[in-house]
């Protein structure tokens, strides 16, 4: 078995940036299950947050992040995130990412729940694509080894910790093993759990599922962010209408043309995402429609087309001119706050196993992510992962005794009743209806029983679709377990049967694999 110093799984911003840093310290292999640029990163529109403006400071950025996180962020991790942000932006600029400027200065935009303009963007609303393309070019230039269409199927662990990976070559369906000293999971999110999502097809929670199977701690899985404004046109593919559209003055209106957000929050259209998403669902329910309208027609059309070229062009290709017609939108699953538990150096409880990016749960987002903090998180903690490996120790996280709730979930459950065989469509519908934006005990129990039974039937992962379905069943189940346990509402987790936020629940839920 060949052995690398670093194996990095995933080629979004977290995987590519970490690989570019790690190559200074040893041999690196990047594994990715599709092509190099298939990932959530390239769809990011709004931008990346950092306190670089004159009226801004890391303290202010920290305050906004803590407020959005529903009293559940790890303050130390947020401090690291906000203090190191400007340096990581400088790194991206050095690597060649050209952020938009105005009169020679970086042009900062404002987004919901940020108290000042602090969002850097590139190519207007093409920030993620610009970052992904630039880092991809740097990776190819650096001659780092990478394998496309190579899907991680198993983390090899022994008493000494993580020692390598098993992966499936997707085309030939053959399996291989490779060893490493440091294994870094940068496998991204899990939007494909839900029927409606802004995430591309690679977002199937693979890293979380495999880390759980390997014995890693998984935290905050009940918190999944739903974005209030995904485009809702018949037959249009999933497409996000960035929060930045409301930041520029876009207004949400119901079917009667009423600007409804001021009825729900003093921050109106710039309220946190979960507030806007639930308000939107209520307005849709009241009017029995499947969308509300996001109106930006009052802005000068040239401002719309230059600030949002990608959104403008995409909507036009679907027959909608957003400079003259309001945009039909509805909520969709967007961002996984929970994930593989790490400390602020990206270390997990398994020696040699690290995680960064959306797959990781560093504690910076708490119960709800502040917009544009996620691209930033990948850089700040990706850098710290590599720094940690440089001290020569094989990292492992030791957590001080805390009041988190620890739950052991067996990976097989007794079959309950008759369930239809698992398919991606069935799983996505079940999750949308029972583990979605509004939850209750009955729905969560139904989802849990079904997912546990499906998990038992999905142990074989001979090809990419079957491996992904297994990973979705596991990730969905961990989400339903945590959502059932948390008998309150907080941030993105909303229980119809427990609508209050309770002091006694100001704690994290940490799941590990049990017998
Ligand atoms: C439409 C959209 C808009 C967004 N806008 C913003 C924004 O404006 N600002 C912001 O901060 N955030 C935004 N986000 C969130 C942000 O883009 C992501 O959180 C971030 O890009 C995650 O980066 P990552 O590298 O962790 O994961 P990803 O970019 O998703 O990369 C994950 C990689 O892992 C690979 N992978 C997964 N499983 C396996 C496996 N089993 N084997 C091998 N490879 C595997 C995937 O193929 C992929 O290459 C947005 C997300 C979406 C979907």
Q: Do domains 229-333 and 405-513 have the same CATH topology?
A: no
279 lines ligand 1 (CB under 6 A): no
Ligand 1 and 225: CB distance under 6 A: no
Q: How confident is the model at residue 305 (pLDDT cuts 50, 70, 90)?
A: very high
pLDDT for 493: 97
**Strand locations in 411-478 (E):** none
Within a 10 A sphere around the Cβ of 438, how many other Cβ atoms?
15
Kindly report, residue by residue over 257-297, the tens digit of the pLDDT: 999 999 999 989 988 888 899 999 999 999 999 999 999 99
Confidence of residue 401 (pLDDT cuts 50, 70, 90): confident
Tell whether ligand 1 has an atom less than 6 A from the beta carbon of residue 374: yes
CA dihedral 408, 81, 225, 228 (to 10 degrees): 180
- Two structure tokens written together for 155: 């983390």
Q: How far is ligand 1, taken at its centre, from the CA of residue 78, in Å?
A: 20
pLDDT band at 417 (very low <50, low <70, confident <90, very high): low
pLDDT: is 392 or 416 the higher one?
392
The string of pLDDT tens digits covering residues 178-236 is: 999 999 999 999 999 999 999 999 999 999 999 999 999 999 999 999 999 999 998 88
Ligand 1 atom 41: the closest Cα is on which residue? Answer: 152
Tell whether domain 229-333 is in CATH 3.90.700.10: yes
Helix or strand (DSSP H, E) at 95: helix 75-95
Q: Does the pLDDT value for residue 394 go beyond 90?
A: no
- Enumerate long-range contacts of 100-108, CB under 8 Å, 24 or more apart: 100/124, 106/52, 108/52, 108/53
**Mean of pLDDT values over 153-161:** 94
Helix (H) or strand (E) holding 277: helix 273-287
Ligand 1 atom with the shortest distance to the CA of 47: 8
Q: Which residues are catalytic?
A: 273
Q: Which atom of ligand 1 is nearest to the CA of 357?
A: 26
Give 23-56 pLDDT, tens digit per residue: 999 999 999 999 999 999 999 988 999 999 999 9
CATH code of 405-513, in short, is: 1.20.58.100
Which of the listed residues 9, 39, 204, 211 should we mutate to test ligand 1's pocket, taking the one with most ligand atoms within 8 A of CB?
Answer: 39
Please tell me the predicted confidence (pLDDT) of residue 156: 98
pLDDT (average), residues 304-328 = 95
Longest dimension (CA), the chain: 66
User: 188 CB under 6 A from ligand 1?
Assistant: yes
Mean pLDDT of 92-103: 97
- Whether the pLDDT of residue 95 is over 90: the answer is yes
At 277 the pLDDT is 93
Give CA torsion, residues 338, 12, 364, 262, to 10 deg.
-80
CA of 305 to the centre of ligand 1 (A): 26
Assess whether the C-beta atom of 379 lies below 6 angstroms from ligand 1. Answer: no
- Euclidean distance between CA atoms 458 and 438, whole angstroms: 28
User: Is residue 102 a contact partner of residue 53, using CB atoms and an 8 Å limit?
Assistant: no
Compute the distance between CA of residue 432 and CA of residue 157 in angstroms, rounded to an integer.
34
The predicted pLDDT at position 243 comes to 84
Give the closest residue (by CA) to ligand 1 atom 38: 187
Q: How far apart are CA 118 and CA 114, in angstroms?
A: 8
For the Cβ of 332 lying below 6 angstroms from any atom of ligand 1, the answer is no
Domain range summary for the chain, segments of one domain joined by +: 1-223+337-404, 229-333, 405-513
CA 442 from centroid of its chain's CA atoms: 27
Ligand 1 probe mutation, 8, 44, 134, 150, most atoms within 8 A of CB: 44
pLDDT of residue 69: 94
CA-167 nearest atom, ligand 1? 42
Q: What are φ and ψ of residue 174, in 5° steps?
A: -105, 155
| Domain 1-223+337-404 superfamily per CATH | FAD/NAD(P)-binding domain (3.50.50.60)
Q: What is the pLDDT of residue 198?
A: 95
Q: Is the pLDDT of residue 415 over 70?
A: no
Strand order in the sheet with 119-120: 48-49, 119-120, 108-109
Of the residues 18, 20, 32, 40, which should be mutated to test ligand 1's pocket, given the most ligand atoms within 8 Å of the CB? 40
CB of 34 closer than 6 angstroms to any ligand 1 atom: yes
382 ligand 1 Cβ < 6 A: no
What is the spatial distance between Cα 193 and Cα 332, in angstroms, rounded to a whole number?
A: 11
pTM of the full predicted structure? 0.96
The answer, yes or no, to whether any atom of ligand 1 lies below 6 A from the CB of 198, is yes
How many A from CA of 446 to the centre of ligand 1?
A: 29
E strand or H helix at 90 = helix 75-95
- Residue 413 banded pLDDT, cuts 50, 70, 90: low
Tally of residues, the chain: 515
């Amino acid at each position: 078995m060949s052995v690398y110093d670093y194996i990095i799984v995933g080629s979004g911003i977290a995987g590519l940036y970490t690989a570019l840093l790690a190559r200074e310290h040893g041999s690196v292999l990047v594994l990715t299950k599709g092509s190099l640029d298939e990932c959530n990163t390239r769809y990011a529109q709004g931008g990346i947050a950092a306190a670089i403006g004159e009226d801004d400071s890391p303290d202010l950025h920290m305050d906004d992040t803590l407020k959005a996180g529903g009293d559940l962020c790890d303050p130390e991790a947020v401090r690291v995130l906000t203090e190191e942000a400007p340096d990581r932006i400088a790194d991206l600029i050095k690597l060649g990412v050209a952020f938009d400027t105005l009169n020679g200065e970086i042009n900062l935009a404002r987004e919901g729940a940020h108290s000042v303009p602090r969002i850097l963007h590139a190519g207007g609303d093409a920030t993620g694509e610009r970052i992904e393309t630039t880092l991809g070019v740097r990776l190819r230039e650096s001659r780092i080894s990478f394998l496309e269409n190579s899907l991680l199927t198993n983390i090899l662990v022994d008493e000494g910790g993580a020692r390598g990976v098993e992966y499936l070559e997707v085309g030939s369906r053959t399996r291989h093993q490779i060893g490493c000293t440091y294994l870094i999971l940068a496998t991204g999110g899990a939007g494909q759990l839900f029927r409606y999502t802004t995430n591309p097809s690679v977002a199937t929670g693979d890293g979380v599922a495999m880390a759980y199977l390997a014995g890693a701690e998984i935290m905050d899985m009940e918190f999944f962010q739903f974005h209030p404004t995904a485009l809702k046109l018949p037959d249009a593919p999933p497409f996000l209408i960035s929060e930045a559209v409301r930041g520029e003055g876009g207004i949400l209106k119901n079917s009667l043309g009423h600007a409804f957000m001021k009825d729900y929050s003093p921050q109106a259209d710039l309220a946190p995402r979960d507030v806007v998403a639930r308000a939107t669902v209520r307005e849709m329910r009241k009017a029995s429609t499947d969308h509300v309208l996001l109106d930006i027609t009052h802005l000068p059309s040239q401002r719309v087309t230059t600030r949002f070229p990608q959104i403008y062009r995409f909507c036009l290709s679907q027959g909608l001119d957003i400079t003259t017609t309001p945009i039909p939108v509805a909520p969709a699953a967007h961002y996984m706050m929970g994930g593989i538990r790490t400390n602020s150096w990206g270390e997990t409880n398994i020696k040699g196993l690290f995680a960064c990016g959306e797959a990781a749960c560093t504690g910076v987002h708490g119960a709800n992510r502040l917009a544009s903090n996620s691209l930033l998180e990948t850089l700040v903690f990706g850098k710290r992962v590599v720094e940690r490996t440089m001290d020569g120790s094989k990292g492992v996280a030791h957590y001080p005794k805390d009041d988190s709730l620890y739950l052991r979930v067996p990976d097989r459950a007794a079959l309950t009743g008759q369930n239809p065989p698992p398919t991606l469509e069935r799983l996505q519908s079940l999750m949308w209806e029972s583990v979605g934006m509004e939850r209750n005990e009955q729905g969560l129990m139904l989802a849990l029983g079904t997912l546990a039974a499906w998990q038992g039937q999905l142990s074989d992962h001979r090809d990419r679709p079957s491996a992904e379905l297994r990973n979705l069943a596991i990730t969905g189940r961990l989400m339903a377990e945590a959502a059932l346990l948390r008998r309150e509402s907080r941030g993105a987790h909303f229980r119809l049967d427990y609508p209050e936020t309770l002091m006694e629940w100001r704690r994290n839920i940490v799941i590990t694999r049990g017998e």
